[in-house]
Amino acid sequence: MSKILKVNPLNIDPKLIEEAARIIRGGGLVAFPTETVYGLGADALNGEAVSKVFEAKKRPLDNPLIIHIADKKDLAGLVENVPAEAEKLIDRFWLGPLTLIFKKTQKVPDLVTSGLDMVAVRMPSNMIAMKLIAAAGVPMAVPSANLFGRPSPTMAQHVIDDLGDAVDMILDGGKTEIGVESTVVELADGGIVILRPGGISVEELKSVVKKVQVREKPSWQYSLRARVIIVENDSKQIESVSSIAKDYIGQGNKVGIMSKEEHSHAYREFNNKAFGPESNLRICASKLFNVLREFDAENIDIIIAEAIPERGLGLAIMSRLKKAAAF
Ligand code: TXA
Ligand code: MG
């Protein structure tokens, strides 16, 4: 059994952090909250520990990990150089949900970067994460603490459900604040390319860097029991969702509707879970993965999800919804 320790984020017990740090230094795996989602951490410089991370998640070895640091100074040993644009982004967005990609040094094991000569690095703002990394005294390789293909965990229970005994310790610090993963950014001459939309929006990035492109690679689909259908965000959204729901129910399917809170009143006759109000995308982001997991646990066949506008955090939310749907 993995050991589960409750940590009060407002009053972090240094003894618990030290116990977890000892596991990391000894080459073990610890799951813990970051401000985005729960992560599965290992000593990034210990190849054997890193390979355990891939094993626990059943993650293909060609999918590189993000190194998490607790001090900007630790970048120096990991990356060849910090371009001026990166420096500006770091000043503005660290600590926080922004991952930057740099040319790596020899020190970073190839396993972490899946053989690429580039390494992704971020410095989280969650204080449990920060204190653990600082106490471990090593940079940590930290993917999301889900099984490969599953939505990322936003609470300790999700980690237990997915990884169970494959981790040595889980620090339970309650629900994560943001609920979607960090924005992953590559530097291109004079600008940046967003490889994964996330907690820092395009609009925020544009306030620091002029040239911002989004180039998300088409990716695998989340493995959910349910099929997910996204219904366009237009004036007929409620009618469309209701009629699709009725069709599928008529065919004998268990249907769940994942809607904006503003529309919930229209879906009273259905199994409806709101992921938050369209007027507050932060709430939508923080509840998204949990709603998907809840419907899955109810053995729903079809999830009908309402699209939201792709601005601000809406871009990250829609990118995850599209990953859940089959298109
Ligand atoms: O918010 C987050 O970033 C969370 C928390 C735990 O920090 N971590 C996370 O890690 O989402 P993971 O491993 O689930 O996702 C890492 C993403 C993947 O899409 C991976 O392809 C990309 O970052 N990535 C990592 N290293 C890269 C590299 N060298 N070049 C391009 N993409 C890279
Ligand atoms: Mg992940």
Q: Are 320 and 149 in contact (CB under 8 A)?
A: no
- Ligand 1, atom 24: nearest CA belongs to which residue? 64
Distance between CA atoms of residues 318 and 326, nearest Å? 13
Full pLDDT tens readout for the chain, 327 residues: 789 999 999 999 999 999 999 999 999 999 999 999 999 999 999 999 999 999 999 999 999 999 999 999 999 999 999 999 999 999 999 999 999 999 999 999 999 999 999 999 999 999 999 999 999 999 999 999 999 999 999 999 999 999 999 999 999 999 999 999 999 999 998 899 999 999 999 999 999 999 999 998 877 788 899 999 999 999 999 999 999 999 999 999 999 999 999 999 999 999 999 999 999 999 999 999 999 999 999 999 999 999 999 999 999 999 999 999 975
Distance between CA atoms of residues 79 and 104, nearest Å? 4
Number of residues that make up the chain = 327
Q: Are 52 and 44 in contact (CB under 8 A)?
A: no
Choose the residue to mutate in 105, 117, 126, 181 for probing ligand 1, maximizing ligand atoms within 8 Å of C-beta. 181
Question: In the chain, which ranges are continuous DSSP H helix?
Answer: 14-25, 47-57, 75-78, 84-93, 110-113, 127-136, 156-163, 202-206, 237-250, 281-297, 314-324
Does the Cβ of 182 fall within 6 Å of ligand 1?
yes
Give the DSSP letter of residue 40: E
pTM here is 0.95
Does the Cβ of 195 fall within 6 Å of ligand 1?
yes
Q: Is the dihedral of CA 152, 156, 161, 167 positive or negative?
A: positive
Beta bridge partners of residue 62, listed in sequence order: none
Ligand 1 atom nearest to CA at 196: 19
Does the Cβ of 183 fall within 6 Å of ligand 1?
no
CA of 5 to the centre of ligand 2 (A): 23
pLDDT at 240: 98
Q: Are 79 and 102 in contact (CB under 8 A)?
A: yes
Distance between CA atoms of residues 61 and 134, nearest Å? 27
CA of 184 to the centre of ligand 1 (A): 7
Distance between CA atoms of residues 222 and 213, nearest Å? 25
CA of 146 to the centre of ligand 2 (A): 7
Closest by CA position to 52, among listed 165, 199, 154: 165
CA atoms within 13 A on the CB side of 63: 15
Tokens for 32, please give them: 């813990």
pLDDT at 326: 72
pLDDT at 53: 98
